Amino acid sequence: MSFELNPETIAGENGKTLGTLAGDYEHLGKQLARRGVDIEGITERAMAFRVAVPSWGVGTGGTRFARFPGPGEPRNIFEKLEDCDVINKLTRSTPGISLHIPWDKPEDAGALKSFAADRGLFIDSMNSNTFQDQAGQKHSYKFGSLVHTEAAVRDQAVEHNVECIELGVKLGARSHTVWVGDGGNFPGQFHTRRTLDRYLDSMRKIYKALPDHFRVFIEHKLYEPAFYSTVINDWGVSYYCVKELGDKAFSLVDLGHHAPNVNIEMIVARLIQFGKLAGFHFNDSKYGDDDLDTGSIKPFQLFLIFNELVDAEIEKVKGFDPAYMLDQSHNVTDPIESLMTSAVECVRAYAQAHIVDRAALSEYQEKNDAMMALSTLKRAFTTDVDPILAMARHRAGGAIDPVGLYRASGYRGSAAVKRPASGRGGSGIV
């Protein structure tokens, strides 16, 4: 049996477990009250949290070896938005959508904008693609794009980014994200300093095309597709570039773009302090840019990152306005389930970070009491905030159990009927 996902069916399904949830919520409320925390305040924060969904995340991803398509995959940007709508309806945290151009380039920007608005969605950020060649493209990006040795290739890449910004303006987006795959596979392949000069020169041209209300985000990544080194390899290079570019340029942190064991929360704190944190591409990884579901491998790291973010939010750090987005590749799961679960993991870390007893933590830090400082963080991290998250979703019209309700609705089965398989196997990032 399948059913439509609408406010009535969602409320009806929630009704089956609402009694149990209310009991758990009340119990947690008492526990938190003993610790001086008002549960209602935390629930309010959980309801306010937003993380954007990437248009490219709702299709099944793949590795460089193979892609195993799932049933009912969206075939165009409108069907992708339908899936994004399901994610937002059930989690009530993801109204923003990030677009990858030209993968999701609409023929009619106005039509796409209103299709999104009709569903309570909006286009959040634009993402350019100069790491692949598109059919009919004049110059190849095989040896780079914004830093290519030939000016004509660089100009073509600049032009593509400007086109993304112009399209973004029409769609009501507020930022443009630039990630370049440029780099080298072999030592000596490129001149280290000259490539960065060329990058900055190209980025200055892109920066000039930004309208006043638009921000540009630079995404660093230590390797891949270039295996020896990329040009924008770490946050230091990224920070230098955004400083050079101007007030509308910021450094974006994609969690997977760091070597294993790198202390990402420190990078986040530094970028906040320097007024240059753009925001995030959330995902998780074990080895590299695995693009696994957020919070699936290192949930404590995610919490520590949010601890820095919430600390800055509470202290009202000047200019602190991070843009949150998921950037994942779903190779073996239903993308809708993965994105919902990942959005919930972000809200979880955000809520837990709000539970941290910051006055106590500060005192332990002043007294150099490392043991109690860690315990203070761990106490928040080990608090099961599930009842808060479920109650926040329920109050906002979402699902107490997003994955359970999604499965019960039979959405994927109906999509498989409406959207016959395209037969696109192959390999690739999405």
Six token digits for residue 119: 């569903």
CA 339 to chain centroid = 10
Closest CA to 247 of 284, 213, 198: 213
Residues 281, 298, 330, 354: which binds ligand RM4 (CB under 6 A)? Answer: 281
Residue count of the chain, please give it. Answer: 430
Residues 13, 83, 254, 265: which binds ligand RM4 (CB under 6 A)? Answer: 254
Looking at residues 92 to 111 of the shown chain, list those that interact with ligand RM4 (rule: CB under 6 A): 100
- At residue 84, the 3 state secondary structure works out as helix
CB of 8 to ligand RM4, least distance (A): 37
Decide if residue 73 touches Mn ion (CB under 5 A).
Answer: no
Which residue lies nearer to ligand RM4 by CB, 160 or 281?
Answer: 281
Residues 113, 160, 258, 281: which binds Mn ion (CB under 5 A)? Answer: 281
* Interface stretch with Mn ion, choices 156-164, 265-273, 309-317, 326-334 (CB under 5 A): 326-334
From CA 190, how far away is CA 192, in angstroms rounded? Answer: 6
Strand-pair partners of 100: 127
# residues near Mn ion by CB under 5 A: 4
How far CA 422 is from CA of 68, 69, 386, 425, in Å, comes to 12, 9, 38, 9
Decide if residue 182 touches ligand RM4 (CB under 6 A).
Answer: no
Per-residue mark of binding to ligand RM4, 20-59 (x: CB under 6 A): ----------------------------------------
- Could you tell which of ligand RM4, Mn ion, none binds residue 127, using a CB distance below 5 to 8 A set by kind? ligand RM4
Residues 289, 293, 308, 334: which binds Mn ion (CB under 5 A)? Answer: 289
Looking at residues 310 to 339 of the shown chain, list those that interact with ligand RM4 (rule: CB under 6 A): 327
From CA 320, how far away is CA 275, in angstroms rounded? Answer: 7
Residues 60, 93, 94, 127: which binds ligand RM4 (CB under 6 A)? Answer: 127
Which long-range contacts (C-beta less than 8 Å, at least 24 apart) are formed by 403-407? 403/337, 403/340, 403/341, 405/5, 405/10, 405/13, 405/14, 405/90, 406/5, 406/86, 406/90, 406/336, 406/337, 406/340, 407/337
According to DSSP H, which parts of 174-298 are helical?
A: 192-208, 235-245, 264-273
Looking at residues 218 to 257 of the shown chain, list those that interact with Mn ion (rule: CB under 5 A): 254
What residue ranges bind Mn ion (CB under 5 A)?
254, 281, 289, 327
What residue ranges bind ligand RM4 (CB under 6 A)?
100, 127, 179, 219, 221, 254, 281, 289, 327, 429
